[in-house]
Structure 1
Amino acid sequence: MNTQATPSPQFYLTAPAACPYLAGEMERKVFTHLVGPRAAEMNDLLTQGGFRRSQNIAYRPACEGCRACVSVRILANEFEPNRTMRKVLGANRDLVGTMVPTQPSTEQFTLFREYLDSRHQRGGMSDMSALDYAIMVEDTHVNTRLVEYRRRVPGQGIGDKPQGELIGVALTDLMSDGLSMVYSFFKPDMEKRSLGTFIILDHINRTRQLGLPHVYLGYWVKGSAKMHYKTRYQPQEHLTPRGWERYDLGNDN
């Protein structure tokens, strides 16, 4: 009989820093390392408990006096796109999404830099190098993939390796109860396509095809305009002190 105790994750607390979402607020995070043979299992449990993954770290806000950050997951099997979302799907009929291993490429990094330089010049990722990008994609012990979105090439058949222009990329964790969207980036000069919306809609469809219930979107931050889009994908659940509960869009008023 094996009486050796199973190692438990060790949790740590960051020092206070300026909140990137709410002016005048300070943020702290509790985090642990996702390493070893149980990393995928721990990633499932922690994500379901409100954590997010960054490389081999799982973290969750632990701010004093503020609970604005709320974990969000879409109920994929019940989701129905609204009129605007159906237009987005139609506008991107020429794109093909392919799930591939987490192998960084020069093509991906070029698009990544184009996206950051246009959308997040002052963000925490703004000075990332090709090596930093490779680490972001590869440095993980969990079950994760890249989804590449390319233009459909005329004559391309089902099952053919996509060859068209790379339009967007999503880094996505495959979990026991759905997909967790870790990070996505796309062509910043194609605003009419609403590529961010399209990538989320595609993940909802992929989750359904896998027969799984949830798409994890990360944190919705009440009071942050740039996070408001996450509440549009209904129905969805928010993680509360009572557990996961359905969220009514009207509660955001």
Structure 2
Amino acid sequence: MHELRFGLTAPAQCSYLATQQEQLVFLLPEQPLDAQLYQQLLQLNFRRSGEQLYTPHCPACRACHSVRINPAAFKASRSQRRLLKTAARAGWQYKLSDNISTDYFPLFASYINHKHADSSMFPPARQQLDAMLNCSWLKVHYLEQYYQQKLVAVSIVDETADAYSAVYTFFHPDVSAFSPGLLAILYLLQCTAQQQKDWLYLGYQIDECRKMAYKAAFLPQQRFIQGQWHSFG
């Protein structure tokens, strides 16, 4: 990896833990970025936000642990297998594509208004969604989920040579019972295996944050803790 220059954001209220302050290390703009460099930085706890790469570097907290899963080692739990069967019986369909098939913003706005009205993402903004959907230096995919021939969920998925990285999933509140976020991960694990990639990255796990608890159910998994990957499950 060639020499890189990074910046540090000012402390701010953490979006996930009310008692903590957050800071981010980010790759300074106007440096050459590509999928190969991103792959290296993914292995070091970085994530993508729009065109920018960042990692938490908080003053008094190390709760954010990047999670990745090797699809060859993953074993679906009984409840995960039951969820897949329930969706299949209901005629649930998936489509992973390089192209945006329609305007995702109404679905995104509905999701934010219903699920995250108390978060920093509220109110929903088109620019916020566009920053996740588009990246000039990286191949971005879009996993669409359909129920009764209607688009009900979208996952934004980055691709590198050895991995997929799930960036964000949003879905219509009416299909919450089907757990589209969990179905997205299960389907992406199948895609990761089919493409003979080593990892599916799920973003950060924060054990104290209830909204992130679902990631801990995908086992075995690895978490990046204090500079090293550790295996769980």
TM over 0.5: yes
- Pick which of 193-202 and 120-129 moved more: 120-129
- What is the CA RMSD across the aligned residues, in angstroms? 2.0
2:37 is aligned with 1:22: no
Compute the TM-score of the two structures, normalised by the length of structure 1: 0.84
2:222 is aligned with 1:240: no
1:68 positional shift: 0.8
1:103 match: 100
Residue of structure 2 aligned with 1:227, choices 202, 212, 221: 212
Q: Runs of 5+ in structure 2 lacking a partner?
A: none
Q: Runs of 5+ in structure 1 lacking a partner?
A: 1-5, 153-163, 249-253
Indicate the percent of aligned positions where both proteins have the same amino acid.
Answer: 31
Q: Which amino acid aligns with 1:9?
A: L
CA contact (8 A) 2:113 2:124 kept: no
1:46 positional shift: 0.8
Distance 1:238 1:176 in 2: 20
Distance 1:98 1:37 in 2: 31
Deviations 1:123-178 (A, max 9, x none): 222223334423431244212111111236xxxxxxxxxxx210111100112222
Give every structure 1 segment of 4 or more consecutive aligned residues whose post-TM-superposition deviation is greater than 6 Å. Answer: none
2:65 is aligned with 1:65: no
Residue of structure 1 aligned with 2:139, choices 140, 143, 152: 143
Q: 1:166 to 1:21 in 2, by over 3 A?
A: same
1:203 match: 188
Structure exhibiting the larger radius of gyration computed from Cα positions: 1
Distance 1:47 1:7 in 2: 16
Q: Which amino acid aligns with 2:171?
A: F
Q: 1:197 to 1:241 in 2, by over 3 A?
A: same
CA contact (8 A) 1:34 1:141 kept: no
2:77 is aligned with 1:82: yes
Q: 1:121 to 1:215 in 2, by over 3 A?
A: same
How many matched pairs? 231
Q: 1:135 to 1:19 in 2, by over 3 A?
A: closer
